[in-house]
């Protein structure tokens, strides 16, 4: 069996880097992020990878990425839309401008990249031999628990992530006929260089809500259905966050009151 091809955005640090490391033993990697030096260092450490330095906010980069993947690999088995950004601020102070830049990075960028790569993903799925036990061709979109619960100071981020989650559901229904699985990963607090989580980790009362990037990477592989895993529609990291999302559906007024009083907080996920 030929090695599968996996593309990871935001691969220069955090969840993206951890995902690349998890995929490296069994995949040909395509690493995408803005920081080329970090990508090349990671590629060398992992024994080689295709490195594409790109700012996904640039509308001209998505076609270039797709052309590079097609030229160098001729297939794509997994797309991980992980790169994202968050800029805190109340709407009254930051206004539409802050919402718009979240929509650009956290929604438009993964949608445009998926659009550019979808023909190759479909071709790859169509070429898989029937009943061969191959891992599915998958798209995994990394959203956030902010895609289920809006919090003070994170309205722009939630707007983009809510939209990403809804779009993922629609895309999953559309692409199942083409042999493509679409999964969604919803991280809460994940310890990264941009969010060391020192205060949360210092107390046993809050330590449980913080996950390491490796746990998020495992969630991405579970959502994709790779490595003898069953494909999943949604995976929360850490898993107890799923209960908060369920409460939001069952008791929205209660959750709103809890959020307003500071019972829930939001972690910042840095851009790649």
pLDDT at 6: 98
Q: Please say if the pLDDT value at position 258 is more than 90.
A: no
Q: Mean pLDDT, the chain, as a whole number?
A: 89
Please, which pLDDT band fits residue 247 given cuts at 50, 70 and 90? Answer: confident
Q: How confident is the model at residue 270 (pLDDT cuts 50, 70, 90)?
A: very low
Q: Which positions ≥6 away from 230 have C-beta within 8 Å? A: none
Is the CATH number 3.40.50.720 carried by domain 4-260?
A: yes
| For residues 15-38, average pLDDT | 96
**Residue 241 falls in the annotated catalytic set:** no
DSSP 78: E
- Which of 29, 157, 191, 272 is an active site residue? 157
Residue 119 pLDDT > 60 = yes
95 phi and psi angles, rounded to 5 deg:
60, -160
Domains of the chain, by residue range, sit at 4-260
Which residues make Cβ contacts (< 8 Å) with residue 98, sequence separation at least 6? 87, 89, 91, 155, 156
56 and 109 Cβ atoms separated by less than 8 Å: yes
Tell me the per-residue pLDDT of 31-68, one tens digit each, with 9 for 90 and over: 999 999 999 999 999 999 999 999 999 999 999 999 99
**pLDDT reported for residue 264:** 55
Short-list 163, 186, 43, CA closest to 109:
163
Q: Are 186 and 140 in contact (CB under 8 A)?
A: no
């Amino acid at each position: 069996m030929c090695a599968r091809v996996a593309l990871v955005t935001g691969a220069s640090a955090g969840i993206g880097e951890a995902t690349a490391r998890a995929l490296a033993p069994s995949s040909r990697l395509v690493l995408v992020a803005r920081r080329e030096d970090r990508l090349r260092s990671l590629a060398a450490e992992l024994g080689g990878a295709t490195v594409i330095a790109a700012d996904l906010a640039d509308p001209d980069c998505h076609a270039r990425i797709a052309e590079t993947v097609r030229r160098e690999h001729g297939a794509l088995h997994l797309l991980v839309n992980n790169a994202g950004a968050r800029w805190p601020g109340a709407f009254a102070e930051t206004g539409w401008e802050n919402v718009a830049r979240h929509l650009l990075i956290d929604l438009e960028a993964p949608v445009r990249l998926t659009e550019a790569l979808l023909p190759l993903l479909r071709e790859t799925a169509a070429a898989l031999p029937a009943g061969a036990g191959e891992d599915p061709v998958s798209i995994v979109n990394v959203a956030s628990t902010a895609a289920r619960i809006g919090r003070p100071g994170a309205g722009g981020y939630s707007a983009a992530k809510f939209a990403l989650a809804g779009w993922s559901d629609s895309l999953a229904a559309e692409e199942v006929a083409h042999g493509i699985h679409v999964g969604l990963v919803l991280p809460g607090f994940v310890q990264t260089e941009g969010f060391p989580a020192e205060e949360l980790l210092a107390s046993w009362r809050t330590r449980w809500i913080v996950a390491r990037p490796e746990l998020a990477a495992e969630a991405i592989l579970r959502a994709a259905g790779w490595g003898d895993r069953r494909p999943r529609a949604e995976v929360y990291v850490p898993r107890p966050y799923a209960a908060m999302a369920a409460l939001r559906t069952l008791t929205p007024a209660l959750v709103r009151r809890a959020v307003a009083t500071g019972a829930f907080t939001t972690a910042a996920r840095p851009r790649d």
